[in-house]
Each structure stands twice: as C-alpha cells, then as structure tokens.
C-alpha cells in the first residue's frame, strides 16, 4: 500500500524513448473559502468540502472564537450537511442554496450528533 509521503517511480514511453519520473504521494488539497464570501453571518470561518466517514458536506476548518458563528455554537470540525432544507455535499451546492442577506438554517453533524442552527 502506498502512503502519503511515499515516493513512487513512474516509467512511461514518449514515442520510442523510455522515461521515468519520481512522484511523491500527497494528500489531496481541498479548496477553502472564507465563510463571509458565502454569507455575512459565517464571517470568521474557513470552509471546505469534505467526505469524512461516508459523510459528505462542508467542513468548518477554522473558526474565530470572537465570531457570531462561534457564539451560535459552530465549532471547528463541524460538518454542514444541509442548508435551508437542501442537502449539500460541497461548497458549490452550499453557494446555490443560500442568500447572503437572509437567515440561514444549517444542519450540523458533529461526531455522532446532529443538530440545527439558525443564523439570523
């Protein structure tokens, strides 16, 4: 099994010439987005798409402890699985279902626990 950080030798042909290259296995980088770019009440959060333990959604990567989102109970590691009653699996879908100036109903998965938070 190849692990993150391992080097892999790759041999290939270009025309009749055999070439080789060494590649390092790395963790896939997920695009991140500052929460305020989606909704003003998500200011102070950093969001990314995730698939964790068979659960898809938007991960709250970071959150400022002085932010409104923190005061409403959001924490790093929380996964947003629905917004405004629409199931979402990534940042693109989250962007489609929220209106920046309207209240935001989000369904959070935290470990084995799920709950709703209304941001207004």
69-86: pLDDT as tens digits? 999 999 999 999 999 999
CB within 8 Å of 18: residues ≥ 6 apart: 11, 12
Average pLDDT, the chain: 92
Distance CA(20)–CA(35), nearest Å, equals 43
pLDDT exceeds 80 at position 117: yes
Which domains are present in the chain?
Answer: 32-119 (2.30.42.10)
Task: Say whether pLDDT at 5 is over 90.
Answer: no
């Amino acid at each position: 099994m190849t692990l993150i950080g391992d080097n892999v030798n790759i041999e290939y042909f270009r025309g009749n010439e055999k070439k080789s290259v060494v590649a390092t296995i790395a963790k896939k980088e997920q695009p991140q987005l500052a929460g305020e770019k989606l909704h003003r009440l998500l200011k102070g959060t950093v969001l990314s798409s995730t698939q964790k333990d068979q659960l898809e959604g938007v991960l709250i990567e970071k959150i400022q402890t002085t932010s409104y989102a923190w005061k409403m109970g959001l924490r790093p590691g929380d996964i947003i699985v629905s917004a405004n009653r629409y199931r979402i699996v990534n940042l693109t879908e989250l962007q489609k279902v929220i209106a920046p100036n309207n209240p935001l109903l989000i369904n959070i998965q935290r470990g084995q626990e799920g709950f709703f938070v209304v941001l207004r």
